[in-house]
A and B are shown apart, each in its own frame.
Chain A
Amino acid sequence: MIPERFAEEILALLAPRLAGLISRAAERLTSPLEEIRLREERPLHLVLAKGDTFVTPAGALTADFTQAERVGHEEVSRTFQAVAKGSVYAWEEEVRSGFITVEGGHRVGLCGRAVTEAGRIRTLRQVAGLNIRIAREVKGAADRLLPHLVSGGGVCSTLLISPPQAGKTTLLRDLIRQISNGVPALNLRGMKVGLVDERSEVAGCHRGVPQRDLGPRTDVLDGCPKAEGLMLLIRALSPQVVAVDEIGRPADGDAVMEALHAGVAVLATAHGNDLADIARRPALAMLLQAGAFQRAVILGREPHPGAVRQVIDLQREVAACSS
């Protein structure tokens, strides 16, 4: 139940005492570890794919949080500095938006006291809570879905819809990898894929190099705003498919339309429970009305994250499959 490279990527960030506790606790987990939550002066908390647990001073697991080890001030600030590679000032934009992506594509959420200026968050001082979200690469996550998205040797423009933590990023990553590799069984030749990875979540770029396997024909624009990034990709990198995570703003909608007019297929994700949720958001509703997407895929957390609940063929408006 310990993810690959756990010691190098995750334990190396933690204050030494916490790293020891968590490494002992991780060996006893029965379900994949999703989040490590450090809250100053509060119990050390682990969130698993199924349920959650606390860690005792001996490194054992317990459901009773009063028995759990408490995280110290020094440990939170040390971990925060390690996450920021000793250069908090170099991550101002990230701190302002509340998270930092670290090597391996793991995302560290920040919580603390906000310093505001003219109604905007300028920075977080006294970071007192950290949420280390462990990115998982599940090769083959898209195996069952991909056949529904391929037609005539090409890829349909697809919108993946899911509530948070239901595995849409994992699924998008595997779709990109397979499309980039090519899937002979589906008569799909490898295609050039361009990815705009605004929050470094999909590719987990470190110094511009993807840490996740995205296939041999994939270009990644890391840390780039989505709308601008899509235009740049189309102008400069001649992709056949573009992928983008979490669209929703009006500018995103325009950029997606632009991509479609350029004859490029679009893979995008959005937060929501079903198509009705999506239709309530103006930018996405505009895209649906314009017929931008050929498929919509609804994901759910049951029976496991990344489970495909429904694939909707938007051209025919008929449910093509449900599992």
Chain B
Amino acid sequence: MFKLIGSLLILGVSSLLGFRVAAAYARRPTELRALQTALAVLTTEIEYGATPLPDALRQAGRAVGAPVCTLLTDAAGRMESGGGITGGEALQQALGRFAPESHLRPADLTVLQALVPVLGASDRRDQVRHLRLAVERLVGAEAQAADERQRYERMYKYVGVLSGLLVVLILY
């Protein structure tokens, strides 16, 4: 009886681990796509609306789901709370909170880091140029992430379940 419960536990845990790793592969492209959408909205707000940055960030946040939405509204909130922080600093601080919650790689985050010194600090044309560049780099990252997802997502699910089974068989 104990053997059976133990085996089920092992199988459950290993499957769970496998599914989690697989989920990270599945979420990364989704988040990268959400970031592209958000930055595209931000570009439009800046280019055609000349909307003040906190409002523009909120608009962009509304276009996508968590956690990207949280990143943008967090940055907007930090700017509005005053204390003389610039748009870039607000983004930097919000990124610090966003990084552990997201499934993005450090390389993906550097695309956003590159926006820190420029966000809100120059004229419209310059802002649009930087945002477009960031979107392009995100598109590249997304293609790579989608490829990895195809290759590894199902594999890690199988690896989780099968390694659990293997351990159970060895111990039984």
Contact = CB atoms under 8 A, between A and B. Distances in A.
Interface of A: 12-16, 77-78, 81-82, 84-90, 92, 95, 122-123, 125
B87 A87 contact: yes
A86 B120 contact: yes
Given A13-B84, A15-B84, A88 B51 contact: no
B54 interface: yes
A89 B46 contact: yes
B104 interface: no
Q: Is the interface of A mostly helix, strand, loop or mixed?
A: helix
B46 A86 contact: no
Interface of B: 46, 50-54, 56, 79, 82, 84-87, 90, 120-124, 126-127
A92 B120 CA distance: 12
A88 B123 contact: yes
A153 to B, nearest CB: 45
Nearest to A124: B123
A89 B122 CA distance: 6
A8 B84 CA distance: 11
B86 A78 contact: yes
B123 A12 contact: no
Contacts of A85: 52-54
B50 A12 contact: no
Nearest to B46: A89
Given A92-B124, A95-B123, A123-B123, A86 B50 contact: no
A35 B33 CA distance: 49
25 contacts: A13-B84, A16-B84, A81-B87, A86-B52, A86-B53, A86-B85, A86-B86, A86-B87, A86-B90, A86-B120, A87-B52, A87-B53, A87-B87, A87-B120, A88-B120, A88-B121, A88-B123, A89-B46, A89-B120, A89-B126, A89-B127, A90-B53, A95-B123, A123-B123, A125-B122
